[in-house]
Chain A
Amino acid sequence: MPGALSRAAAIVGAAEAKEIGYPETPKTAIQLHIEAIKAVSEQTGIPISRINGVFGAGWSSQIAEYLGLHPAYIDTTSVGGCSFEMHVHHALAAIHAGIIDVALVTHGENGWSQRATGGRGTGRARGMDPWDPGSLYTNPYGVSGAPSNYSHAMTRHNHRFGSTPEDFAHISVVTRQWATLNPRAVMHSKETHPFGGPITVEDVQNSRLVSWPLTLLHICLVTDYGGAILITSPEIAKSVKTKPVWIAGAGESMSHSNMLEMDDFTATSAAASSAAAYRMAGMGPEDMEMAMVYDSFTITAGITVEMLGLAPRGEGFTLWKDGHAAPGGRLPINTNGGGLSFNHSGMYGMQLLVEAYRQLSGTAEDGVNGLKGKQTSARSCVVNGTGGSLSTTGTLVLVSD
C-alpha cells in the first residue's frame, strides 16, 4: 500500500536553458538558472510570482532574491549531484504538509564556461578548509577530482565480482546510442563534437588513461547546464496546460561524505534511498519501465542499478552489455545520453529529472531534445541521483497517468 506522501505532488513542467553543453559565448550560472526558470514558467503557464518554495543546491536565497520572490519555504540542500532528487523529496513533504503549493527546483552551473571566465560566475565560494578531514588525510596523496577517487571503486568491483573494465565500457557505448537521438547532446554526432556519434567498446578502452582502470570514455563530460522544474499540489497540477508526472515515491540516504569513510566500495546508499522510495510508492523494481541513473562514471551507473534492484549484485553492467538499456530494449536507461554523452555540469541530478519528466509526459521526441526513437512507452521511471564520491543518494519513483 502506498505511503501518505505518495502522489501528494506532481512535477508539472521541466525546461532547460537556451544554450547548454559547450556554448561559444561563456555563460554564468545565474544566466543558466534564469533561462531555465523563465522557460518552465512559460511552458506551464504558472507565473514566476506564483512560486512559493525555492529549492537550489546551496544558492536558493540568491535565486529567490534575484527573482524578487519572498518564498515560504527555502531549501539549500547541497550534497552533490543528487541534491535535486532530494529537493523533490523535500518539496513533496512541504506540499503535503500544506506549507507551499508551487515549488521551484532550479539548477545553473557553468562547468564549461568557467574555464573562460577564470572561475567567475559560478555562484560558488572556492577553496577548502585546510582542517577538513579530506584536506588532512586524502589531499596530500595526489588525488584531484572525482575520476581519481571513483577508479578505486571500479578496482574493488572487478576484484570482488570478477567484472572487467570492458564490461563497464558497454555502459558508455549504449549511452552514446541514446545521445545520437538527442540533438542537444554534446556527443550527438560529428556535427556537435569531433569525437561525437557512435562508439565501440574498443574506442572506450583505447581512450586516454586518466585514473586506471578508468579511461576518458568511462568518465562524464564537463559542460554548462541550466534546468528547472515546477512541482505543485494535485489541485494545481490538474489545472495547468502541461501533463503532470506524479511523485509516487521518494527517499534519500548517505553512506559517507569523504571516500575515506566508504565501507563497501561496491555499494551505495541507493539501496536504502530506493527502498524508501519503493515503499512510499507501493511499487518495486519489477514495476519500473525505465530508469534515469546518475552516470558520472560507468562504475556509478553499474553499481546504482544493482542498488536499485534492477539487476543482481555484481551484474549491473549486464543491462547495457545485453542491450536491455539500449533504444528499443526492455528497460531503457539514461535516454538523454547521460552524463557520459549528453551533458554533465558538475552536478547532474537536474538533467535526470528533466529527461524523466519528458519521457513520462510524452515529450521526449520533440525534434529539439529528441529525434524519432528516443520517446519510450514507459509510464514509470526510477530516478537515482548520486552525489560526492559515491556518498549521497536521492531516489524518486515517478509515474504518469
Chain B
Amino acid sequence: MANYKKPIPEPDPHSKPFWEGAKAGKLMLPRCADCNRVHWYPRLICPHCHSTNIEWFQGSGMGTIHTFAVQHRAFGGWADEVPFVTAYIDLNEGDRMFTVLRGVDPNKPESIKIGAPVRVEFEAASEDVSIAFWRAV
C-alpha cells in the first residue's frame, strides 16, 4: 500500500459514501429518490430531474465494456505499467464509470470485446483511500 506510486484521489465532502464503501469493498452509487435513476459521478442534484433528494445504495458491482483504449504513453507511476487498457464501463444499474481494465491483454486489443462483462474490485492505495478497478470476467 505504501508502495502505491500512482495518483491517489482526494475525496471531496460530497462523495463520502462512495469512498467509505470502497474501503469496505462495496460499490456505493448515488440514486435519485424521486426519479429513481442512478448517476455517476456523484452530485448534489439529480442531472435528470433536478431533485436534490439523492440516496446512496450498494450496486451489483457488475457492468459491461462500453469502449476502451490501450495506453502506450503515460506519466508518473503509470509510466511503469504501459501498455495498459483504459475503459468506460456501463454499470448494470445505469450510467458509466472510467477505469483501468484488468484481466485483459493490452498487447492483443482485438481480443477485448465491447459489451463484455466486467466486475469491480478495489485496491487500497493508502490508509484512507481505496480505488475501484474493473476486471473482465
B127 at the interface (CB under 8 A from A): no
A163 at the interface (CB under 8 A from B): no
B9: which A residues are within 8 A, CB to CB?
130, 135-137, 139-140
B10: which A residues are within 8 A, CB to CB?
130-131, 135-136
Tell me whether A136 and B12 are in contact in the complex, defined as CB-CB below 8 angstroms, given that A142-B6, A155-B114, A260-B98 are known contacts.
yes
8 Å CB contact of A212 from B75, B98, B109: B109
B131: which A residues are within 8 A, CB to CB?
140
Interface residues in A103-143 by Cβ distance below 8 A to B read: 130-131, 133, 135-143
Interface residues in B48-102 by Cβ distance below 8 A to A read: 66-75, 78, 81, 83-84, 86-88, 96-100
B24 at the interface (CB under 8 A from A): no
Q: What's the interface size class on B, roughly? A: 35 or more
Selecting from A145-153, A275-283, A311-319, the interface stretch reads A145-153
In the complex, the answer to whether B72 meets A211 with C-beta atoms within 8 Å is yes
In the complex, the answer to whether B98 meets A141 with C-beta atoms within 8 Å is yes
B81: which A residues are within 8 A, CB to CB?
142
B96: which A residues are within 8 A, CB to CB?
260
In the complex, the answer to whether B71 meets A142 with C-beta atoms within 8 Å is yes
In the complex, the answer to whether A141 meets B73 with C-beta atoms within 8 Å is no
8 Å CB contact of B68 from A131, A147, A155, A210: A155
In the complex, the answer to whether A211 meets B97 with C-beta atoms within 8 Å is no
A213 at the interface (CB under 8 A from B): yes
Give complex CA distance A131, B16 in Å: 12
Tell me whether A209 and B72 are in contact in the complex, defined as CB-CB below 8 angstroms, given that A140-B131, A142-B86, A155-B114 are known contacts.
yes
A-B contacts, 7 listed (Cβ < 8 Å): A140-B6, A140-B125, A140-B131, A156-B67, A213-B109, A259-B88, A260-B97
Other A-B pairs, 16, CB within 8 Å; known A155-B114, A208-B72? A135-B9, A136-B11, A137-B9, A140-B7, A140-B8, A140-B9, A140-B125, A142-B100, A152-B67, A152-B86, A152-B88, A154-B69, A155-B68, A159-B114, A212-B71, A259-B98
* Chain B interfacial positions (CB closer than 8 Å to A): 6-12, 15, 40-41, 66-75, 78, 81, 83-84, 86-88, 96-100, 109, 114, 125, 131
> Which are the 7 A-B pairs with shortest beta-carbon distances?
A151-B69, A142-B78, A212-B70, A131-B12, A156-B67, A130-B10, A133-B41
